[in-house]
Every structure is written in structure tokens, then in C-alpha cells.
Structure 1
Amino acid sequence: MVRVDGVFDAERVAVVGATEREGSVGRAITRNLLEDFAGEIVPVNPNIDRVFDRPCRDSLAGTDADLAVVVVPPEAALEAVETAGEEGIESLVVVTAGFGETGSEGARREAKLEELAAEYDLGIVGPNSLGVISTPSGLNATFAPDNARPGTMSFMSQSGALVTAILEWAADRGIGFKDIVSLGNKAVLDEADFVETWGGDPDTDVVLGYLESIEDGRRFIEAARDVTEGTPVVVLKSGRTDAGAKAASSHTGAIAGSEAAYEAGLRKAGAIRVDSTEALFDTGAMLAGGSVPSADGVAVVTNAGGPGVIATDAIGDSNAELASLAEETRERLADALPATANVHNPVDVIGDAPAGRFHDALEVVLSDPAVGSAVVIACPSAVLSFDRLAETLAAFRRRESIPLAACLMGGAAVEGAAETLAETDTPTYFDPTRAVRGIDALYRYREVRDRKERSPTQFDVDTDTARSILGRVERRSDNRLGIEAMELLDAYGIPTVDGEIVDSPDAALAAAERLGGDVVMKIVSPDILHKTDIGGVEVGVDPADVEGTYESIVTRARNYQPDARIYGVQIQDRIDLEEGVETIVGTNRDPQFGPVVLFGLGGVFVEVFEDTTVRIAPVSEPEAAAMIDEIESAPLLRGARGRPPVREDAIVETIGRISQLVTDFPAIVELDINPLVATPDGVAAVDLRLTVDPEKL
């Protein structure tokens, strides 16, 4: 297996397509390498004798390069890659475009590139990449106009243009990087490779990623889960879309589409997800320089009341909490500060505070055992020197393990102070909300780092019966099963409502009499997905009315869809919903992450309220319990408005059993149990719908 870090630690770099021609990518990359790279540079261009006073090679043959940067047209790029393989050059950056992003011919070229990589065991960045940067060696193998400042964050981006913008933006704010990679088309090396590499790099404190897709969700989860035990991973995932849900034929498929699957996948991976480029680097800057808080409380020290309130509101929306200062702390603050100061959190040192007063307040506040982190907010005043304040905060940062975020609410006057703080990895922000967001990242990462992994429960199930039931689709003209397959749930130990499917009014009456009391009647047809909408469901039918209701239900179904296949009518025992709650448990197979398990409020309004949450299978017991906590309707399950609480453990077990079912049988594409009625006595599945891929049985 190729070492991915070979892309960054090269000592001899060959540029295929090096040139001095103005405006060319080959010139820009060669010039960038010549600016700072500590190693050797070998220009490769058969049409030129020398490039920037260096002799050119005709090809990669004999260059003895550690890394080849390819900047020639697509077909020539493939030839260069093949030569690299023959010469034992294992690491390449293919800047050239014209591959999978351009249509069928480009896709052919990209497939060939993948073949060459497999044949010669090559680690290839790209194609269609801006290039790579590694600051320790001065490697800037990109055509970006700016180089990166040294730092401890490593950044990967699926957008090359975003890299160029970030380089300029970060330089103005004192933000530095260890490595940067423009992923391009990810034909060979993808985000999981770089997460693994940087996770093992002692010089990378935090991994940042802008991603539009994840090629192999399962592999990414495995890589990130290992890495995040010691290195935070922060991801900005764009392309939020419901396109994947449009083709779904189940409630779960419609709700747990691409975006929900990514959310669940990133959560399982332990990645911290953010929603903007600003948040990506706000979060990264704090994680790169801050230790994990030992206490839950955040202290705010400010010279202005309004920004202090803004910070307090932001803390209320975060994973942390506003620290409740001890009485002793408040007494010491009262002794150290003017009588008009506020000694409760947020601590207001008032507007005439010089840097020394901030120092005195912090000395006291940071010694409080409830304080795990602090936000220091300073607005301009005639007596405050931002430079002096920065020196004060830097001294605390060197001395204390408690993380600090500085909110310096000024313009040009704070530039020198920000530089001083950057030297001690203390991030600075203008907006108090952004400062709190940075602090919040430390608490979010603490949760990831301290999580206790538990293996999913393995239930005793009847896989042979389940396989036989799923195999029914092989004898049908479509791949959907409905309530006629309820025995599938029985095979996996999921309680179902008593009932049977009948094909005549007489049989319906007999079934109702066996059940006793009022019954529920449902049309059984794989072609009618929303039975309630067409009058295909009747609830609370008296046995005396069962025969007539049978005829009415079938007639409605025929009128609604004359060509629908109708297998009969299901007669079910009626569940009293006075003490029960209709929920949904389902699964959908995501292209990147595989089976996704959904839980939430069910019934006929499931797609209206969409009060659901998802996890990537297999789902452990703690994950299933957390799913119940996350839905807004959780109080309904726990006895809201005098109702008795339902058996949450029965829901947790059902989620686990469905997770095992879909893991055992990759042939299950989509599955809904809706409703799964939860009561104080347990759960019961009332309806079932699933789609099966017969080729995977």
C-alpha cells in the first residue's frame, strides 16, 4: 500500500509540463516550487531545453523523483503516469483536467488512470486538482497565487477555487497550515486516505475538510473513528439535497435521503460538522490551539455589557453552559474590581478597564473549579491598549491549560494584537458568537473523544425464514412486499399485531370472529402504497360489518387503480391508541454509507412533520436510545399530558433488530414499519412495506 504522506514529504519533485510561458499553469507551479521548496526540482518538458535556468528532462525516466506533478494534456498525462509507475515514482499530483468531470471520454481516461494506479500501486491526487502544499518543506505544488503560512491544521478541499480563496483569507488573519490538498476528482486518493495520514501525523493538530461528496462512507467512518480519538476532524459538507429521496418508494427512503445519511455518517465517524467556511476555520483555529476543557462552564469577561449578553445567548445555544461562579470567586472579584463592575458571569469589568483589570479578573475567574474555558471580549476605549491586552492573554495562554478565545471588537487597532495571540495559538474573533462557536467546538470534540463505543447486540433470529420471505419477490413482477410479509418481522423477533390476510368476504368474517371484537381492515396490494389516501383502510369495524367493508375496500382500490394487483384484505386486531403512540422504524440503503436506520413519530403524518432521526447501521443500544432522545415528540413517549410512558426499551430493541435485519440482508433496499405502536406494555408492528433487490438475495 502506498504511503499517502509521500505526497507531502518528497525531497525531489518533477514537474511534467514545466514551462516559462506566461499565464500557464506549468509556469505557476514551477515558480511556486522555486520560491520556497527546500528540496530539488526537476522540470520535465520534451519541447524545452531549460526552465528557469534548470535543464529539462524529456520524460520522467531517470528523474529519480519522489513526487511527480503532472500538468500536461489528458492523454499525455496518462503517458506520464504510466512512466512514473515504470520508474517507481509512487506519488503523483495530476493537476490536469479533462477526466471524469468532462463526460464519457473523460470518464474513460479516469478509468485508465485508476487502472494504472492499481497496476503500479500509485498514490495519485486528482486529477483536476489545484495541487498540494506542505509548509514544513516549503512545498507549494499548486498554481495558487499565495502560499500557506505554517501552522498545525491540515486542510483538504474538493474545490480548488476554495483553496485559493482560503489561502489569501487565512494569511490576512494569521491562520497557518501544515498540509493542504486539493482533492480534485478523487480517482485514487480520497478523503479517507488523508484523514488516516493526518491522524497519524504528530504535526497535525486538527484535520479540516471541505467535501461535496464522500466516496466510500463506510471506510471514511472507520478511518475517522480511529483518528478522532486523538485528532479532531472538522467537515464542511456542501451539496445538501433531497435528490436521492426523489426515487424512494418508502417513507424512510423519502426522509432519510442523502443529506440525512451524511449527517448520520459524519456523526458516527466522530467528525464535527459545520455549515460555513467561516465556521470551519473558527472551529479549526480553536481546536488547533486549545486543550479540551476539564469543566463544563464557560466564563465571559468583558468590558461591554451588550457583547457579554450576546456571548451568553450563544453559550445557551451551545454544548457548553455558562459557568456559575462560586461565592468565593465573586467575593474575590468584588475586591479586585470597581464597585460598579458585575461580579456574576458574564463578568463586566466596565468600559474604563485597562488591560491590567482584565488580568485581575481572569486571575480570579480561571481559578474557579466550575470554569473550563473563557471568552474575553474587549471593545475599544481610550484607556485600553489591545496590544497590552494581547500580551496579557498570551501570558495566560502559556501558563494555563484552560482554553481562551479572544473577541477583540475593533478594526485596524487589533491587527498587532491578533498577531501576538496567534503566536500562542489563541484564536481571535470580532463577533462574540463566533468566539463562543470556537469554544463550543472544544466541548463537541470532548464528547467525541470521550465516547464509549459499544458493539451492537446480536439477537437470536431466524435468518432462514427471513430469506424465504424475501425470496418471494423472485416469483413476482415487481420487487416490493407489504403486509403480506409480516412474518419477516416475526422471524426477527419484532412483535406484530395479530391478524391474517383473506381473499373473500366469508373468510374476512371468519377471521374477525377468531380475533373477537372490532378489527382493522386494510387492502393488500404492492401497487397501492398509500392505502389510507384511497380509502383502503377501515378502523374499528364491527364483525357484523366486516363482509360489506371487505367489498367496499376492494371496490375503492379497483376504482383507484384498475390494474393494481390485489392479494386480498388484511384483518387485524385493533390496538387502543389511547395509551399508545404511533412511531416509525425503517431503513434505507444509502449509496455512500449503506443501510441507514430511521426512527421517529409515525402514522399518516410522518412525511408532514418529519420528526425523525437516523443512524448508520449497525446501531448499538446507546445509539438507539439516543435516537429516542433526539426527536421532538419524545415527551409523547414519556407520558406527556398524563399519558402513561411507553416501553422505551422495547423501541430500542426493535431498532436494534431492524438494524441487524438490514445488515444481515443487503438485498433489503428500503423498509418501513409504520406504524410501530409503542405502549406501556411494549411495541407492535401494524404495517410493513419493503423493497428488495432480488439479485442480492
Structure 2
Amino acid sequence: MALKQAMLDAAKPYLMRIVGPNCLGILAPHMGINASFAHLTPAKGDVAFVTQSGAVATSILDWASARGIGFSHVVSLGAMSDVDFGDMLDYLALDPKTRSILLYVEAVTEVRKFLSAARMASRNKPVVVVKAGRSAAGAKAALSHTGALAGADAVYDAAFRRAGMLRVATLDELFQAAGTLATGIRVKGDRLAILTNGGGIGVLAVDALAAANGHLAELSETTLARLNEALPEAWSHANPVDILGDAPGRRYALALEALLDERGADAILIMNCPAAVADSLDAARAVVETLGTRQAAVLTCWLGEGAPDEARHLFAAQRLPTYETPEQAIRAFSHLFSYRRNQQALMETPPALAEAVTLDPAKAEAVIDGVIAAGRRVLTEPEAVAVLAAYDIPTVPAIVARTPAEASQAAQRLGFPVVLKILSPDISHKSDVGGVQLNLASPGAVTQAAEDMLAAVRRAQPEARVEGFNVQPMIRRPGAHELIVGVAEDSLFGPVIVFGQGGTAVEVIGDRVVGLPPLNPLLARDMIASTRVARLLRGYRDRPAADLEAVTATLIKVSQLVSDLTRVVELDINPLLTDASGVIALDARIVVRAEGDQRKPLAIRPYPQQLEEEIETRAGQRYCLRPIRPEDEGALVEMLRNSTPEDVRMRFFAAIKPFDHAFAARLTQIDYDREMAFVATSPGESAIVGVVRLSADPDKEKAEFAIMVRSDKKGTGLGYRLMQRLLAYARENGIRQVFADVLRDNHPMRQMAAALGFVTQPAGDTVDVVTLSLDLTRSGP
């Protein structure tokens, strides 16, 4: 450790970055660099490979050399004393020689930096990752069901998915996925049409598709009619489209023409097995000619060893992905639709927030204060219910009773039937010790159940402190589903949210998904859809669909709870009962941290609500100022549309029209840990009239700013106030210098910058642009 620190201290004065130690080194073929002890230098290519293992690096170099695969970079990170995955992703995201990034990960460090860099890189190019150590052995012991369910590998999976990366299981799959994504083919969904000259290989493809959770496309009547007209009578008349073993190239072309127009298919897999009565190369040529210059989502699979070689070379020359077996082809298709799903989640704009529900964090904090003051870490059920109620999560009313007689009286006040639960700070799972009795229908039944419960608890857990009983009305919802919603704390990524099928057998069923807070409606719905129980929640036979919006709202409220209440370590709502009428939490358990313990921050910085404020311009106009949100996309586009073309040119250096989703999403879906954008609105209005943003480098020492005020609000002093707030924010966050390139003829911007103390310098060789910079280490406006 001392030697490592000495090395870092020696490098720091020279701004030298250290890769390693205990690493293979760095290879950059395009620059002729082989600073490694690898046994060979790879060919130039457009794939970057970053690995923690030197042995994996040399194995991949050998594997790639035999297949003619080249690299833009190969980097072995080793012990990551300085440069880590986040640093490499930042660099490779902007490297023009790199078209796709492959990662071999054993563990990540600096998770916020890693996720920030991964999200930025994934927006620009495919990032594919294989993670070693998938077993559950790394999951920490936990007091709650949620803690037991949130295994370490599941948390990594959630992190990769949230960052828009594609996770694969093996190194071979890593390069196959990179090759598929590098072709530029993209799909809109998981519906596949299969065109084949062999029924058996078609069935194998269908089996593999089902195992990969994809779906066979349902062919329209129009497509079936075209195929009937073009194909022999004996064709399959369904998907897979089996055009028979003697199919010549002409038959492939006619069938492909029909399938290319099928809107119900997101991609087409074309397969061919060798036959003495047909020419495989002729079929391949027909496919290439039919596609022509069309950018269609087509994958090919020509089976065999020697016969399909020419066909595969032909496909490779046309950048058409080709595979040797149906299983490989289906796996490639699953990579495409998994990547699409992750990118969609990364880029999709969440709906505008509904009217905010009334949340009361102070009330919840007061409950936790009392628990910690009493020297406890586990909340009683009534205390846990009070915390949930403070976050508007529907709960069951309850009465605390100290004795069996009091429990009987409480039951009479509530009305029968009732549920009786033991009340003890030492019992984690009440049902395990006989601490829950359901459907008690009379005062006598309650008294007897309470006495029996006390005896059962003394036998099962004699050391447990029993404070009495919790009496609740029996909730009858025939056909309702039992879910679990909870919070656990990962040792690396901090708080995570778990959702799935609940009940007493929750660990046995194992139907759960892990997500990283903060959640928005889209992320919450994606979590729900990722579970098996989601199919039941949509309704079946005579069972109506559950209120999925209520389930979604509960996930978002729990996400807000864990963002606000830093002392919550674990939380279980199990079961969360749901049906068509909504949700209700039947049982809750919360564990808080001991006094003085510090929580790891959320892996993704939540919306910084504390930065919302009101500002006033020199003309006395007041505006609401707040950080930008993803759902501001529509309002931002409207602001740009209501600005003059000249003002848009001054901001973006070019005329931009139309303002498409991808463009607007990059401006509104920001990473608050690395970027900040403030929007100004008139009080009581949603229209955006000004935006100022700051994008920091990974070290957060320098940051680039940009500003735009709606054309009709220019000259009012709003821009100056926005800049003042941005510079104050930069200083508060330790940024040492802010800068921006602006057009030389943007005189209003240059005048305002001069008034704020900025220095104007030439912007390299670009005569139309100047650079404005401000040293924030000195005092200024």
C-alpha cells in the first residue's frame, strides 16, 4: 500500500496517469504502441477491449489473431490503483478509432464514476460486458427477505442494464455480440420471422428463440397471400417460412421480398442447409441482391463446414451478420433486442410527473429518531407502517395490544375477522415462529390465539423480547396477487430496490428483479415487466388485470423513500397485495443503521431538489430556477421552436431543425453527478424561458458551459442571473475553471462574459470561434 501511494504521489506533479500495477499493459495498434508483454501485436481494428485480467487479454489476442479480428485498443487494468473502467470508458467514448467497447469485469470501483462514464459511452457506441463471478456467494447476510434476494450479481446486472450496456455470459459471446452490433443493424422489438429451406433447422431456431424470450412474428394475411402466390404449394404456410429443400435463389428472393414488407416482424433470420438439388451460393447471392441498399434487420445462417464458405464471405463483404448454427443466430438476435431494450430505457423520455402526492419525510424521520433513541435497529411493524404511511403507501390500520385480553378488545373495535401478529423487536420473520394468526372470527378466538402465540414464541425464540400484539382487520381480496417491494444495501453500489412475487415462499420462488434508485415511471414499469409474475398481473381467464399503475407508483414512492431516508438499511413490504382495485401493504419491516454509521451514496445521483429556488433579474422579474428533468424534453423543444434561427445558431453553431428526440434527450437526460443544467420558468408556468448548463470533465476540475435564453426574454437580465447561479454552483462543487467556445460574432454573449470576468482567447485555428474562460480559484462575480 505504501509503495502504491508513493507511485501515485510521484506521478501527480506531472499529471501522469498510471495503469496497473499487476497488469499486462496497453496496446494501441493505430498508434503503433505495444507497451505490454503480450506475445503478439494485434492488427488494427475498431474494437476496444478493456480487461482486469492480463491472462484474459493474452488469450483474447491469440483468439482474435486466428480470426483476423483487429483492435483500436487493448488495455489490461490490473489492480486499478489509478486508471479504472470509468476512466477508460470516458476516453474510448470519444475515440474516433473505436466503434465498439468490450469489457471483462471482475469488480468495479468508484461506482458513480463508472456508471456516469458507461451511460455516456453507451449513448455513442455499443458497450458489451462480461462479468466474472456470477454466483450468489458474494451476497451479504441480511435481516430481510430483500437483502437475501439482492445478490451481488443481480445488482451488477441492474447496473449494466441501467447504463445501457449489453451483458453477455462468455468471452466468445462477447465478441459475437460486438460483431453483430458493429454491423449497424438495429431492431425495434423481439419478433422474428424465419426463412429456411429446412424444417428441422427452423424448429431448432424456434426453440432457441423461446429460450431467449423472443417471439415468432405473426405473419399478416397480406404477407401469407404473397407467399402463397410465390412459393410451391407444399411450403409451411406459417412462420417459420419453410420454402423446401430444393429452393433455388429465385425462391429465396421472392420469399424475402414478402417478409421485408411484414410490419409484424422486427427482424428476419434467413437460413440455408446444404442440399444436392440446390446451390447455397446461389441462395446467398439472391439474398444480397434482394436486399440491395436497404438497411434491413436481416441475419443469415448458412449451415455446414465447407459448402457455405463462399456464401459466408459474400455476407461478410456486405456487412451482413452470418452465423454457423441456428442457436448462434438466435443468440445474436437476442443481443440485438436486449441492446435495444437497454438503449430504449437509457434514451426514452419519461412522462411528465403527475401531481405530486403528499410525502412527509419529516414524519418518517421522527419515527426513526425514536427507534434509534431506544437503542434499536429494527422497527416494530406499527413503526414501519407509520414510515410507509408518511410516503403515501396504502397500509392496513392496526391497534397495538399489550396482553391477550387487550388484543381481544382491540379486535372487537376493529370488527371481525382480524389478523393477530406478535410484536417483538427481536423477531425478524414472524411466521417462522408462529407469530401470525389469520382470520380470527371472535373475541375468544383472539384471546386463545394470543396465548398460543406467546407459548409458541417462547419455545422457538425464548430470548426474544415480546412487547405485545399487533391487531389488524383481515383483508379479503380474493384473487389478489402477493408481491414484494423492498430495499437492500449493496456493499459496492449502495441502496438497491427489489421487486417480485412475494409471500412466505419468496426466496424459494426467486422471481425478482433488482433496480437502482432513483426510479421514474418508465424504469419502474421495466422492473415489473422483467418478472414472471408480470404475466399474471396482466390478467388471465376470469381474473382481471391488477392495477399496474398503483404498483408502479409504489415502486417510485419506495425509491423516493430510500433517496430521502439515509438511515434506512433494509425494507420489506411483503406481501404487497395487488388487484384491480389497487395495492395495500399487509406487512412491513424496516431496519435502520446504528447511530454514526454512514450510508454509501446512491450509485446514480437523484434529482437535486434542494437546488430549486426563485431568482430575480435586475429588472425585477422573478423566475423559478431548478435543475432540468428528463420530462422537460417537450418544453425545451418548444423553447427552441420559439427562438429565432439566429439565436439557435449562436447556441449550437448551426441551424438545427427539426429538434428530434435523440437531440433533445441528450440535453434533458443528464447525469447530475457530472453535469448540471438549470432551467428558468415563469412562476406558475411550465414553459422554459432560459437554460444554462455545465458539463464537467471526469476529474471535475474543468467544465464547459452553455447558455440560451428564449428570444423574447433576451435583454432582461435573465441570462446574467443564470450565469451567476451556474458559476456559484461550479464553485460549490470544486470546479476550478469554466470555459466555452462561442462564435466570434456572438457579441451579447462575449459582453456578458467580460462583465463576469471571463478572458477571451483564440480557439485554435478556428477563426470564427473564440474561447471564453474563467479561473474560479480567484474571487469574482
What is the TM-score when the length of structure 1 is the normalising length?
0.76
Distance in structure 1 (CA, Å) of the matches to 2:582 and 2:503: 17
Conserved? CA contact 2:26–2:75, under 8 Å = yes
AA of the residue aligned to 1:683: V
User: 1:509 corresponds to which residue?
Assistant: 408
AA of the residue aligned to 2:301: C
AA of the residue aligned to 1:534: V
Name which of 555, 566, 585 aligns with 1:655.
555
Distance in structure 1 (CA, Å) of the matches to 2:106 and 2:495: 20
Are positions 1:308 and 2:199 aligned together? no
Task: Tell me the C-alpha RMSD between the 2 structures.
Answer: 3.3
AA of the residue aligned to 2:350: R
Distance in structure 1 (CA, Å) of the matches to 2:273 and 2:20: 46
AA of the residue aligned to 2:511: D
Secondary structure of the residue aligned to 1:460 is coil
User: 2:370 corresponds to which residue?
Assistant: 472
User: 2:462 corresponds to which residue?
Assistant: 562
Are positions 1:460 and 2:358 aligned together? yes
Task: Tell me: CA distance 1:566–1:665, structure 2 relative to 1, closer, same or farther (3 Å).
Answer: same
Task: Tell me: CA distance 1:665–1:696, structure 2 relative to 1, closer, same or farther (3 Å).
Answer: farther
Are positions 1:618 and 2:518 aligned together? yes
Distance in structure 2 (CA, Å) of the matches to 1:418 and 1:142: 35
User: 1:25 corresponds to which residue?
Assistant: none
Task: Tell me: CA distance 1:406–1:147, structure 2 relative to 1, closer, same or farther (3 Å).
Answer: farther
Secondary structure of the residue aligned to 2:388 is helix
Are positions 1:275 and 2:169 aligned together? yes
The structural deviation recorded for 1:341 is 6.2
User: 1:695 corresponds to which residue?
Assistant: 596
Are positions 1:603 and 2:519 aligned together? no
Distance in structure 1 (CA, Å) of the matches to 2:463 and 2:221: 77
User: 1:552 corresponds to which residue?
Assistant: 452
Distance in structure 2 (CA, Å) of the matches to 1:199 and 1:131: 20
AA of the residue aligned to 2:367: I
The structural deviation recorded for 1:562 is 2.7
The structural deviation recorded for 1:320 is 5.5
The structural deviation recorded for 1:348 is 4.5
1:624-659: CA deviations, max 9, x gaps? 233333332335545556445443332222211111
The structural deviation recorded for 1:285 is 0.5
Secondary structure of the residue aligned to 1:192 is helix
Conserved? CA contact 1:596–1:616, under 8 Å = yes
User: 2:393 corresponds to which residue?
Assistant: 494
Distance in structure 2 (CA, Å) of the matches to 1:345 and 1:647: 35
The structural deviation recorded for 1:145 is 2.2
Are positions 1:219 and 2:113 aligned together? yes
Matched-pair identity in %: 39
Secondary structure of the residue aligned to 2:120 is helix
Conserved? CA contact 1:581–1:679, under 8 Å = yes
1:494-540: CA deviations, max 9, x gaps? 22211122223343233223212232221122222122122222223
Task: Tell me: CA distance 1:505–1:438, structure 2 relative to 1, closer, same or farther (3 Å).
Answer: closer
1:33-63: CA deviations, max 9, x gaps? xxxxxxxxxxxxxxxxxxxxxxxxxxxxxxx
Name which of 19, 36, 56 aligns with 1:162.
56
AA of the residue aligned to 1:611: D
Secondary structure of the residue aligned to 2:527 is helix
The structural deviation recorded for 1:670 is 0.8
Conserved? CA contact 2:188–2:340, under 8 Å = no
Secondary structure of the residue aligned to 1:123 is coil
The structural deviation recorded for 1:588 is 0.5
User: 2:433 corresponds to which residue?
Assistant: 534
AA of the residue aligned to 1:695: G
The structural deviation recorded for 1:265 is 1.6
Task: Tell me: CA distance 1:328–1:175, structure 2 relative to 1, closer, same or farther (3 Å).
Answer: farther
Distance in structure 2 (CA, Å) of the matches to 1:420 and 1:234: 26
1:662-685: CA deviations, max 9, x gaps? 111222111111222224433322
The structural deviation recorded for 1:546 is 3.4
Distance in structure 2 (CA, Å) of the matches to 1:580 and 1:312: 34
User: 2:645 corresponds to which residue?
Assistant: none
Task: Tell me: CA distance 1:642–1:109, structure 2 relative to 1, closer, same or farther (3 Å).
Answer: farther
Are positions 1:525 and 2:421 aligned together? no
The structural deviation recorded for 1:587 is 0.5
Distance in structure 2 (CA, Å) of the matches to 1:619 and 1:195: 24
The structural deviation recorded for 1:453 is 3.5
Distance in structure 1 (CA, Å) of the matches to 2:394 and 2:66: 62
User: 2:71 corresponds to which residue?
Assistant: 177
The structural deviation recorded for 1:280 is 1.5
Task: Tell me: CA distance 1:627–1:309, structure 2 relative to 1, closer, same or farther (3 Å).
Answer: same
1:167-193: CA deviations, max 9, x gaps? 222233343332222222222222222
1:40-90: CA deviations, max 9, x gaps? xxxxxxxxxxxxxxxxxxxxxxxxxxxxxxxxxxxxxxxxxxxxxxxxxxx
Distance in structure 1 (CA, Å) of the matches to 2:16 and 2:227: 62
AA of the residue aligned to 1:553: M
Distance in structure 1 (CA, Å) of the matches to 2:289 and 2:31: 30
Distance in structure 2 (CA, Å) of the matches to 1:603 and 1:294: 36
Conserved? CA contact 2:575–2:585, under 8 Å = yes
Task: Tell me: CA distance 1:641–1:474, structure 2 relative to 1, closer, same or farther (3 Å).
Answer: same
AA of the residue aligned to 2:184: G
Distance in structure 2 (CA, Å) of the matches to 1:546 and 1:172: 76
Deviates more, 1:580-589 or 1:109-118: 109-118
User: 1:575 corresponds to which residue?
Assistant: 475
AA of the residue aligned to 1:462: D
The structural deviation recorded for 1:288 is 0.4
Distance in structure 1 (CA, Å) of the matches to 2:482 and 2:566: 27
Name which of 119, 125, 137 aligns with 2:19.
125
Instruction: Note the 1:87-486 alignment, pairs <5 A.
Output: 107-113=1-7, 121-293=15-187, 298-318=192-212, 321-323=215-217, 345-348=239-242, 350-352=244-246, 362=256, 365-366=259-260, 373-381=267-275, 399-412=293-306, 414=308, 418-419=312-313, 421-451=315-345, 452-454=348-350, 459-485=357-383, 486=385
User: 2:527 corresponds to which residue?
Assistant: 627
Distance in structure 1 (CA, Å) of the matches to 2:555 and 2:14: 45
What is the TM-score when the length of structure 2 is the normalising length?
0.68
Distance in structure 1 (CA, Å) of the matches to 2:237 and 2:583: 53
Distance in structure 2 (CA, Å) of the matches to 1:689 and 1:323: 45
Conserved? CA contact 1:242–1:258, under 8 Å = yes
Secondary structure of the residue aligned to 2:45 is strand
Task: Tell me: CA distance 1:375–1:148, structure 2 relative to 1, closer, same or farther (3 Å).
Answer: farther
Deviates more, 1:243-252 or 1:349-358: 349-358
Show structure 2 runs of 5+ residues with no match: 599-781
Conserved? CA contact 2:569–2:590, under 8 Å = yes
The structural deviation recorded for 1:593 is 2.3
The structural deviation recorded for 1:205 is 2.4
Conserved? CA contact 1:132–1:181, under 8 Å = yes
Distance in structure 2 (CA, Å) of the matches to 1:623 and 1:312: 30
Secondary structure of the residue aligned to 1:677 is strand
Distance in structure 1 (CA, Å) of the matches to 2:60 and 2:303: 22
AA of the residue aligned to 1:204: T
Deviates more, 1:560-569 or 1:489-498: 560-569
AA of the residue aligned to 1:535: G
User: 2:586 corresponds to which residue?
Assistant: 686
Show structure 1 runs of 5+ residues with no match: 1-106
The structural deviation recorded for 1:253 is 0.2
AA of the residue aligned to 1:443: F
The structural deviation recorded for 1:412 is 4.9
AA of the residue aligned to 2:165: A
Distance in structure 1 (CA, Å) of the matches to 2:407 and 2:227: 80
AA of the residue aligned to 1:523: I
Conserved? CA contact 1:251–1:672, under 8 Å = yes
